[in-house]
């Protein structure tokens, strides 16, 4: 199983992981650790894949892996209990102070961000695509954690693998949205070979969002989801190939019970 971790989240009361695509049971376009219930994969495969991922985070039989119905928004929720697979709240970030609830983020090019304030036992997770990042999902995740007692001076954050700038070509409309929001955002775009198109550095933008939010303890996990096919699912790679669907890898964090 391909599993990455961040040193700054390795706390005695926290377990986390950024999972890749290997180590599961799915086949074809979804091979193999597809954890996305919104894909066209067989439900029993997704359930088994999620069980395998969760077992890497916690040996406790009552631990649960929870994922949202992600909508590329700036919305965050506080998690106080579990829900059925595929029935999660419509949001893109969450926080909890309840042990055994693994907060999972599904990605296939967007950036997963995991958070922990281990001193007060609060964890969080965010799905940061360009739209959610621009819409304030990082700030929303931190505010949800603060409502549970977390402090930004203590929060550690880690950004997982996402699409790299060299493979993230965007049109003029998207570049204009970022420049209109803040002229300094121009630094995250470089011209592409295609006229009036740009290559966007999502990873750097999310890193800047964390810094702007006052998070000093940030670690980044490298790896371009588009470029490393053996390790990661990628929506953009699947789209460029004309494939009808794609898998989703999961990144998750939980408080140990």
Distance CA 180, CA 31 (A): 40
Percent of the chain exceeding pLDDT 90 equals 98
The 10s digit of each residue's pLDDT in 98-109 is 999 999 999 999
One of 3.40.50.300, 3.30.70.270, 3.40.50.150, 3.60.140.10 is the CATH number of 3-164+201-255, namely 3.60.140.10
Per-residue pLDDT tens for 16-61?
999 999 999 999 999 999 999 999 999 999 999 999 999 999 999 9
Sign of the four-CA dihedral 11, 112, 191, 73: negative
Provide mean pLDDT across the span 192-207: 97
Structure-block tokens of residue 117: 């304030």
Q: Are 164 and 231 in contact (CB under 8 A)?
A: no
Q: Measure the CA–CA gap between 231 and 127, rounded to whole angstroms.
A: 19
pLDDT at 101 (0 to 100): 98
């Amino acid at each position: 199983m391909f599993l990455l971790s961040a040193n700054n989240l390795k706390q005695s009361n926290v377990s986390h992981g950024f999972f890749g695509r290997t180590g599961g049971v799915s086949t074809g376009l979804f091979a193999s650790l597809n954890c996305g219930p919104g894909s066209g994969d067989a439900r029993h495969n997704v359930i088994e894949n999620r069980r395998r991922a969760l077992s890497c985070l916690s040996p406790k039989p009552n631990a649960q892996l929870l994922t949202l119905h992600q909508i590329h928004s700036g919305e965050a929720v506080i998690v106080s209990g579990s829900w059925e697979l595929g029935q999660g709240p419509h949001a893109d970030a969450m926080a909890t102070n309840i042990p055994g609830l693994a907060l999972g983020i599904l990605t296939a090019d967007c950036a997963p961000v995991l958070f922990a304030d281990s001193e007060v036992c609060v964890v969080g997770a965010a799905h940061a695509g360009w739209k959610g990042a621009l819409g304030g999902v990082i700030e929303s995740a931190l505010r949800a954690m603060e409502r549970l007692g977390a402090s930004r001076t203590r929060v550690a954050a880690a950004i997982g693998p996402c699409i790299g700038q060299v493979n993230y070509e965007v049109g003029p409309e998207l570049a204009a949205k970022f420049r209109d929001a803040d002229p300094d955002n121009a630094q995250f775009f470089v011209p592409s070979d295609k006229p009036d198109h740009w290559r966007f550095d999502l990873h750097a933008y999310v890193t800047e969002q964390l810094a702007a939010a006052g998070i000093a303890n940030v670690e980044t996990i490298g790896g371009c989801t588009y470029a490393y096919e053996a390790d990661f699912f990628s929506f953009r790679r699947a789209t460029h190939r004309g494939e009808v669907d794609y898998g989703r890898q999961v990144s998750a964090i939980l408080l140990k019970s």
